Structure 1
Amino acid sequence: MIGGMTAALSIGEVAGLSGVAATTLRYYEDRGLLRPPERVGGRRRYDESVLIRLRAIEICKASGFGLDEIATLLADETPGRPASRELAAAKLADIDARMAVLAQARALIEWGLRCTCPSLEACTCGVHPPVGSPNPRIVDSVR
């Protein structure tokens, strides 16, 4: 903020501060993910709040949201829209499931690193495979 007013940023400044390319900013604007900025002398002038919105977009993308899904989530600033809530809840469940699988993969890799046997299939060193693999029948058959 500058003097109590929100600073107007050029597209280059937004790109530099956010790490999002100027071409991507224009694309997001065309897709409706970003509101069209004010133009001063024919040049885009963004409000600082665009940086928060860009961060939300990038986090959603990294979490597996498609651009259409992100547009649905960001289409209306009114919290609690049913379609947005259902989409967000489904994505949250998906993220939780992926995190559980990654935690299991991490435990399996740690087990492999701790095991000193020449073969994990014939482990005799006393280090046991992690419980709760994605397919418990496989782990049970190894024990």
Structure 2
Amino acid sequence: MDEATLTIGQVAKRAGIKTSAIRYYERVGLLPEPERHGGQRRYTDETIQRLGVIDVAKRAGFTLTDARVLLAADRDGAPAHQEIRQLAQRKLPEVEALIHRAEAMKQWLTVASDCNCNTLDVCGLFEREPDANEATDGSLRLTYTG
């Protein structure tokens, strides 16, 4: 293991996060309790690697619990790809649903950007027929009827 020489400020700067996030990750068990020298927390490069895993997991839409699973899988000695694959297969349908909704929003906003209606009560952008506009996933379909 690397020698614990980095301060919390150095780790935060290199990882691009706040020191409070590092302390939080320690509290919730995503990072091990650091060594202390002269009363100061001291970290290794491994901490920065773990923070990188947490960051990528968060940006991919995973929870901190998911990040914990990934970090634990990497330490177990077993191939981490199985955990990565399982989490990705579970997350993919959620992302596809978000993309579908974002595409519908983009379509609606494109039409709305050309709207010339004087009042909302005559604008087709805001008409909603409860049954006709409900998508199968329960979200509102954004449509233009005018």
In the alignment, which of 30, 46, 50 is matched to residue 47 of structure 2? Answer: 50
**Equivalent position of 1:121 in the other structure:** 124
- TM-score, length basis structure 2: 0.62
Instruction: Classify 1:16/1:142 alpha carbon distance in 2 versus 1 (closer, same or farther; 3 Å).
Output: same
Counterpart position of 2:82: 81
Per-residue CA shift, 1:31-85, capped at 9, x if unaligned?
3322444544553332334334324323433544332222112212132235x53
Aligned residues: 128
Whether the aligned pair in 2 keeps the contact of 1:18 and 1:51 (CA below 8 Å) is yes
1:65 matched to 2:62? The reply is yes
Q: Percent identity?
A: 31
AA at the equivalent of 2:27 = D
CA drift of 1:108 comes to 0.9
Counterpart Cα distance in 1 of 2:96 and 2:7: 38
Match of 1:92 in 2: 92
SS in 2 for 1:76: helix
**Counterpart in the other structure of 1:25:** 22
Distance 1:135 1:141, change over 3 A: farther
The question of whether the paired residues in 1 share the 8 Å contact of 2:108 and 2:144 is answered with: no
Structure 1 counterpart of 2:130: none
- SS where residue 51 of structure 1 aligns? helix
Structure 2 vs 1, CA of residues 46 and 80 (structure 1 numbering), >3 Å: closer, same or farther?
Answer: same
- Root-mean-square deviation (CA, aligned residues, Å) is 3.6
Secondary structure class of the residue paired with 2:86: helix
